[in-house]
Chain A
Amino acid sequence: MKARWLDWVGDWNPQLFRELKGRLTRQSTLLVTLAALLLQFLLGSLVFERGSDPVPVFHILNWLLPMMLFVLGSVLLMTDLEQEERRGTLNFIRLSPQTSQSILLGKLLGVPILVYLGAALLVPMHIWATLAAHVSLSFLVSFYGLLGVACAFILSLALLSAFLGQFSTGQTNSLGNAAVLMTAFLVGLGFLPIYMNWNHFTVWNVWLSGLSDTGGANDLQWFFLPIGGNSAIAHSFTLLNAGLGVYWIWHILNRCFRSPAGALLSKRYSYLMTAHIELLLLGFLVQTSVSFTTASDWFGVLFGFSLVNLIWFGVLMLLLSPQRQTLLDWARYRHSMRDTDSGARRRSLLSDLIWGDKSPALVAMWLNFGLVVAILATWMFVASGEAPKFRLLMGLLLSATVLAIYAAIAQLATLAKSRQYSLQVAVAIGGLAFLPPLLLVLAGQGEVTHAKELVLFSPLLWLVLEEAAPAAIALSWLGQLGLLGLLTVRFTRNLAQLGTSETKALLTGRDTALQPKPHHAD
């Protein structure tokens, strides 16, 4: 019986078949079942202790199920992938004619199978607790629907971070374990509370408002869309965004799996993702109950945006930049094209820099920054009323330029020969970002007078922008543009030089053959 069922699974997805074969052993299944039963026994005794009040158990299960799935699922997936990559077994699977989707889906469904099993064994008790707490069963439909989508999101993200971890750390075992622990921490203490609270206050408000005090979010809006007040809108909004998130992650995962040497995210998708994130955040600021009137409000909210963007663009740079060898190959390819017609060459170069997978990421990063400036500036001009528009716009431009400088440094660093360039880049950018405010704090004890221009060179520029003199702002911006120009020229030169010398190495390597052979003329 079991064999036929497994056989069917194996025909549909060999990878899932393999994971089930390896994990669903008699002992492990028994162990998980016993653990689930023990847990239910404990929860049952809790109900009796509380004078047959099922509500605490209902709440516990609401939290416990996602916690199990998110945290344990991520940890299992990350360790499994790390192990496969360390052993080198993933390469065989890569060479098979299976699609990356099929393999990764098999991993996603199969690796945490014992966690899924444990969760499934808790479902009957969850149903009972829901009924006993006088909550409609339709809540469970919403609960498990969202849980499924959230699992797809967070477990795909765990797979992705396992891949990314290998790129940045170079498969050091202890570092790998640290990354897994860190992920468990972030998922359990970051994602889980956000997920539960968001759902509690918006999506499940209809069902749970009677049980505990959820109020306060009824008037939550997104671009005036009443998310807090309408359950259907709340569901669609949440599912749509989570679904989009899953879609983005899978786009990157597929590329990670197939050709890890190129850029992990296509430039085309980077623009869409940036727009998605900015509009998602911005939507929550555009609602009837929220308004920004004073200049400080505006400086504050844009400062918040610039911090979020700092993180997002850090990730984006990692995803968009091809590895060193790919960059060198690209440079060699451009070098070999230097004899073609210059107009056509320039056009192809531009479209390559904007859309191409192997080209440097700088131009694409600039376009992403431009996109952010355009979105935020539009909002500001529409909604700001009395606020100093010109100064705010300068702020947006300044932060975009600061980010562009960081991106240029990061891209320059990818050309360095050192394998651990990502670490060096992190240190360099961290220093650049936080040295100015550190100096500021040390020198002025909060009273910033002479260090303002320095702060204008960091993402913290919003703190001093309101009081900075227009001339200082203008000069800082010019200075930043100059620095950016220098870095870009430096990067272009370095890359062109490397392209030339790579070509030469290739050619001289052939010419000095030990036993020269005739060249083929194709």
Chain B
Amino acid sequence: MAQELAVRTRGLTKQFDRHLAVHDLDLEIAAGEVYGLIGPNGAGKTTLIRMLAAAEEPTTGEIFINGDRLLRDHSNPNLKQRLGYLPDDFPLYDDLTVWDYLDYFARLYRLQEPRRTRRLRDVLELVQLSHKRNSAIATLSRGMKQRLSLARTIIHEPILLLLDEPVSGLDPIARMQFREIIKVLREAGMTILISSHVLSDLAELCTSVGIMELGYLVESASLQELYRRLSRQQIVLATLGSLEALQAELKNHSSVEGYEVMPGTQQVRVQFSGGTEESAVLLRSLVAAGIPLTEFHCTQEDLETIFLKLGHKQAS
């Protein structure tokens, strides 16, 4: 193996009755990556994550975590020490305080003193719950509970973190706080697998993305590669003058594949096939043509558009 793989699956399949939830899936995640798993409901994301967390037995196929085979039957404690799994419903114990809850899990994972106390403090600080350490869990807000669950998931310093829909149901601020924590963990070198519906969150966090549909992994690539392959370049223009003049000028350029006027504004979105030099040529010619430009910037189609585009491809 040239590159260290944190996760590798071979022909991973999970069958429930006649229904195949995960089909013959070969997944490879390099160590240190943040891998985003996208897919509609029922695509098999949760089943895949549960199998990786050893919470579900595969029907066939193999899972390797850092090169070691993950077997559910042999309760391999060493491998379990390396996994942190956060399910989407993150259940907690209401009768414990924040500190006691984390202390309990630290002990379950055999953390010894004085490392345990230190780790608890660090983790609480990371998830910004230090001030709540003596509060009963029942009194926490949803966002805090979510962060506490994340703290529980990382208390034993796993090297692979499996997060199933971690931001669903959170308000925008809680979401942002959660994203910041994930960034810290990424910097600390953890390999992280996140499934999510919220594609903008993934775009900001992930280094690679996998797309699941009907149990298949239909796409798995680094984010750059995905953008390069599937995202078309766009140029957003705005003018003070007449839109007709701008449109007439745009028609003269071969790199312009199409354009649309943003309704109610003086903006035009251009589908552009050329590179940076061509766009410079376009800008120069527009200015030369005397069009009063107020805006000219290149963007890319976002992850959401790519995702929808892929979905459209599959349906046809």
Chain A partners chain B: yes
Q: Which of A13-21, A126-134, A295-303, A402-410 contacts B (4 or more CB under 8 A)?
A: A13-21
State how many angstroms separate the Cβ of B163 from the closest Cβ of chain A. Answer: 14
- CA A17 to CA B53, docked complex, whole Å: 25
Residue from the list A10, A15, A22, A417 in contact with B17, Cβ < 8 A: A417
Contact between chains at A509 and B20 (CB < 8 Å) = yes
For A60-102 the 0/1 string (1 means CB < 8 A from B) is 0000000000000000000000000001110111111111000
Contact between chains at A510 and B91 (CB < 8 Å) = no
B216 is an interface residue with CB less than 8 A from chain A: yes
- CA A317 to CA B296, docked complex, whole Å: 75
Contact between chains at A514 and B26 (CB < 8 Å) = no
A2 is an interface residue with CB less than 8 A from chain B: no
Chain B stretch 47-105: residues in CB contact (< 8 A) with chain A: 53-55, 57, 59-60, 72-73, 75, 77-78, 80-81, 83, 85, 87, 89, 91-93, 95-96, 100, 103-105
- CA A18 to CA B92, docked complex, whole Å: 13
Chain A residues with Cβ below 8 Å from B314 are 514
B45 is an interface residue with CB less than 8 A from chain A: no
B interface residue numbers (CB < 8 A to A): 10-11, 13, 15-18, 20, 23-24, 26, 53-55, 57, 59-60, 72-73, 75, 77-78, 80-81, 83, 85, 87, 89, 91-93, 95-96, 100, 103-105, 107-110, 112, 152, 213-216, 218, 314
29 contacts between A and B (CB under 8 A): A11-B112, A14-B104, A14-B108, A18-B100, A21-B96, A22-B93, A88-B89, A88-B91, A89-B93, A92-B105, A93-B108, A96-B80, A96-B105, A96-B109, A97-B78, A98-B108, A99-B75, A259-B73, A328-B17, A329-B59, A505-B18, A506-B13, A506-B59, A506-B60, A510-B13, A510-B23, A513-B23, A513-B24, A514-B314
Residue of A nearest to B218 (CB): A515
Q: Provided the pairs A10-B103, A98-B108 are in contact, do residues A509 and B23 lie with their beta carbons within 8 angstroms?
A: yes
Contact between chains at B96 and A22 (CB < 8 Å) = yes
Chain B residues with Cβ below 8 Å from A21 are 96, 100, 104
- CA A55 to CA B72, docked complex, whole Å: 57
State how many angstroms separate the Cβ of A84 from the closest Cβ of chain B. Answer: 9
State how many angstroms separate the Cβ of A2 from the closest Cβ of chain B. Answer: 13
Q: Provided the pairs A88-B89, A89-B93 are in contact, do residues A95 and B107 lie with their beta carbons within 8 angstroms?
A: no
Chain A residues with Cβ below 8 Å from B73 are 259
Residue of B nearest to A504 (CB): B18
Residue of B nearest to A259 (CB): B73
- CA A104 to CA B72, docked complex, whole Å: 19
- CA A208 to CA B92, docked complex, whole Å: 50
Residue of B nearest to A326 (CB): B57
- CA A17 to CA B100, docked complex, whole Å: 9
Chain A: interface residue count, which band?
35 or more
Residue from the list A15, A17, A88, A506 in contact with B15, Cβ < 8 A: A506
- CA A258 to CA B216, docked complex, whole Å: 29
Contact between chains at B55 and A91 (CB < 8 Å) = yes
Residue from the list B16, B103, B216 in contact with A515, Cβ < 8 A: B216
Residue of A nearest to B59 (CB): A329
Residue of A nearest to B214 (CB): A514
Chain A residues with Cβ below 8 Å from B89 are 88
Chain A stretch 250-303: residues in CB contact (< 8 A) with chain B: 258-259, 261
Chain A residues with Cβ below 8 Å from B18 are 501-502, 505
Contact between chains at A10 and B15 (CB < 8 Å) = no
Chain A residues with Cβ below 8 Å from B100 are 18, 21-22
Chain B residues with Cβ below 8 Å from A18 are 93, 96, 100, 104
State how many angstroms separate the Cβ of B43 from the closest Cβ of chain A. Answer: 12
A325 is an interface residue with CB less than 8 A from chain B: yes
Residue from the list A11, A17, A87, A522 in contact with B104, Cβ < 8 A: A17
Q: Provided the pairs A21-B104, A259-B73 are in contact, do residues A517 and B17 lie with their beta carbons within 8 angstroms?
A: no
State how many angstroms separate the Cβ of A445 from the closest Cβ of chain B. Answer: 50
Residue from the list B15, B112, B213 in contact with A502, Cβ < 8 A: B15
- CA A21 to CA B134, docked complex, whole Å: 13
Contact between chains at B104 and A514 (CB < 8 Å) = no
Chain B residues with Cβ below 8 Å from A450 are none
State how many angstroms separate the Cβ of A227 from the closest Cβ of chain B. Answer: 42
A26 is an interface residue with CB less than 8 A from chain B: no
- CA A517 to CA B18, docked complex, whole Å: 22
